Chains A and B, each alone.
Chain A
């Protein structure tokens, strides 16, 4: 093998470079090398995803005209589509956005708490071998296709939710807002609660992996210093580890949210599909991506519906990009380790 070419990331191979701030520049440590031909040849491949995203955006822009976005009907809260009078259609985008934000928001709140607990216990408290194995396991879970979660939620969880859990929750926790509202008439278990939980289970591996990575990469001298000052393990974790790693945690939350709002299949199967603002966590609603998924077949028949779907997709794409950008920015702060370096993602 060649000698490694040390690039600007400043990764230090051999031990003994004690001062990380004054990390040697590549030029000073390794002689300038010619870039091998295959690196040039392969670099366009690395750009393919970017090119695809730009192409998708352009196609969406020009095929849909995007004129609906500027019509009041698009931003109404009352969905109306009559195939016989497509010009009167009212698309009620915010209605679907509420469903998306609600399910993703609940999921992220739960997932963040769970992931923090998991990441802290596996990096700080559990023996290293166990922590590492559990870490690998969460990474594996991140690779399960979402439709598997959807089917599992619909077939296994939904009947239990509808017939047992939701009535119980309502009678014991009914005093909390949204827990006391009406139960779904269908008793099928589908709705905001189940969709949020399925999303939580989907997002937890992702957020845990990122948070774990940022916790692990907190420089040890800082931790040693904290111990030297007499801090306990919990105090060190809370005041040093989490403080240094907080941008990584923030990045994990944004990235998890970006994934949760874009998820279609698993959510669509358990969301209940009613076009309403849910009066309680037991009620059915719909999300932007569930609407996209279930109306695509009809969209081939009704051009007006196809236009609406394209514009839903454009706005969803923009929102996802914003959250991914926020995730990048959060992880860029203070040079912390961020989501992009998370193992296996």
Chain B
């Protein structure tokens, strides 16, 4: 070896007093420690893996009162708090069933549900019908959520009127200043400053990005980036991580605009941010009529969900409830389509989505799946109330969606 030249060889060296004996002991101790850690690590990994990846026989263990079950859920960080509050209440009724949720992200939730590594996958964006068929999964919506458009314009704290076309132009660089005539036309009487618009986007892949880009894609034929959970953005568009990061960054960005989930309404309002009234389907063609701009409220969001699903043939929930949805389609179509406000639902807020759970239609463990279905049916009936939904800023599902869900759950293979 090459280290000879530097070997400590006189009394001046600090390490000289440490003899070879202690060195050998050190090595032995290190090896012993490594072995112990390895054994402990492998053991812990095995137990954890078994617990997390579950349902291969080990999560139906027999205790004194009969078998008990652990239902694993993984996915969307928005659904996670809902699962945390639903799970223990279900366990109170059925002590032999435990719901074990994880916040991993919608993409991970879809992937784990597809490979059958979790019993329930949670996602903000629906699983496309083609993929659902391929992997034998069904989309089961469990809540309604919405997205708000916040901005930071010094000296202005009202609700601006903005529609999908204007938002798409801002995020594609066609509108760059708050005093743009197109914004002014929709906001008569508002004196907007000569201030550059700074469009913020999400750095991480996100269901919110999916919704917002869907709106842009459907509202403006010049939108160049398509729609999805991760897309290209303008180089001049700064980013933030998570809804919380969007709130923080927007609060220091003069002239900034950002799309933020309704779950963060109270945080954003506390940070001094205001949100827009968003133009519905009619505002795309008639952007100057203030009556076409709708503020997000529980009523307007529910109206959008009702309208969006009313005319779908065949009935489906795999749809974005953007602009009131696209009749007859299970995917988005360029330029919108959408459902115009009806007399029963005159003011639909246009950026709404369903929060989905994904479950296998022919599971490997039909006994466990009986409890998965029971849990979802309970969540859709007793759990579908303001008691559970309001604390996590969701809205209860509309009767149409519940009807669809219950029908879809009938098709799942369970053993009695």
Q: Which B223-246 residues have C-beta < 8 A from chain A? A: 224-233, 235-241
Q: In the complex the two chains form, is A45's CB within 8 Å of B226's CB?
A: no
Q: In the complex the two chains form, is A337's CB within 8 Å of B3's CB?
A: yes
Residues from chain A with a CB closer than 8 A to the CB of B233 are 275
Q: Is A220 an interface residue (CB 8 A)?
A: yes
A8 and B4 alpha carbons, distance in the complex (Å): 9
In the complex formed, the residue of B with least CB distance to A218 is B6
- How many contacts between A and B, using CB within 8 angstroms? 179
Q: How far is the CB of A282 from chain B (nearest CB, A)?
A: 11
Residues from chain B with a CB closer than 8 A to the CB of A294 are 203-205, 241
Select A300's contact among B110, B200, B239, B256, beta carbons within 8 Å.
B110
Q: In the complex the two chains form, is B110's CB within 8 Å of A301's CB?
A: yes
A151 and B104 alpha carbons, distance in the complex (Å): 19
Stretch at the interface among A77-85, A114-122, A168-176, A315-323: A77-85
In the complex formed, the residue of A with least CB distance to B198 is A185
Q: How far is the CB of B251 from chain A (nearest CB, A)?
A: 9
Select B2's contact among A42, A128, A332, beta carbons within 8 Å.
A332
Q: Is A6 an interface residue (CB 8 A)?
A: yes
Q: Is B1 an interface residue (CB 8 A)?
A: yes
Stretch at the interface among A14-22, A203-211, A250-258: A14-22
Interface footprint category on B: 35 or more
Q: In the complex the two chains form, is A300's CB within 8 Å of B108's CB?
A: yes
Residues from chain A with a CB closer than 8 A to the CB of B125 are 301
Select A305's contact among B7, B198, B230, B238, beta carbons within 8 Å.
B230
Q: In the complex the two chains form, is B196's CB within 8 Å of A185's CB?
A: yes
A6 and B227 alpha carbons, distance in the complex (Å): 66
Q: In the complex the two chains form, is A297's CB within 8 Å of B9's CB?
A: no
Q: Is B92 an interface residue (CB 8 A)?
A: no
Residues from chain B with a CB closer than 8 A to the CB of A2 are 24
Select B238's contact among A83, A186, A295, beta carbons within 8 Å.
A186
Select A284's contact among B1, B111, B238, beta carbons within 8 Å.
B238
A246 and B200 alpha carbons, distance in the complex (Å): 47
Q: Is B34 an interface residue (CB 8 A)?
A: yes
Q: In the complex the two chains form, is A81's CB within 8 Å of B232's CB?
A: yes
Residues of A within 8 A of B (CB): 1-2, 4, 6, 8-15, 17-18, 20-21, 23, 42, 45, 79-85, 128, 159, 162-163, 184-188, 190, 216-221, 224, 268-269, 272-276, 284, 286, 290, 294-302, 305, 332, 334-337
Residues of B within 8 A of A (CB): 1-14, 16, 19-21, 23-25, 31, 34-35, 38, 104-108, 110-111, 125, 196, 198, 200, 203-205, 224-233, 235-241, 248-249, 252-256
Top 8 A-B residue pairs of the complex, sorted by shortest distance between their CB atoms: A83-B228, A298-B205, A273-B203, A273-B239, A13-B20, A297-B105, A84-B226, A82-B226
Cross-chain pairs A/B with CB under 8 angstroms, 25 sampled: A1-B25, A4-B23, A9-B1, A13-B19, A13-B20, A42-B31, A84-B226, A84-B228, A159-B252, A184-B238, A185-B196, A186-B200, A186-B238, A186-B253, A275-B232, A275-B235, A294-B203, A294-B205, A295-B204, A295-B205, A296-B107, A297-B204, A299-B205, A300-B107, A301-B107
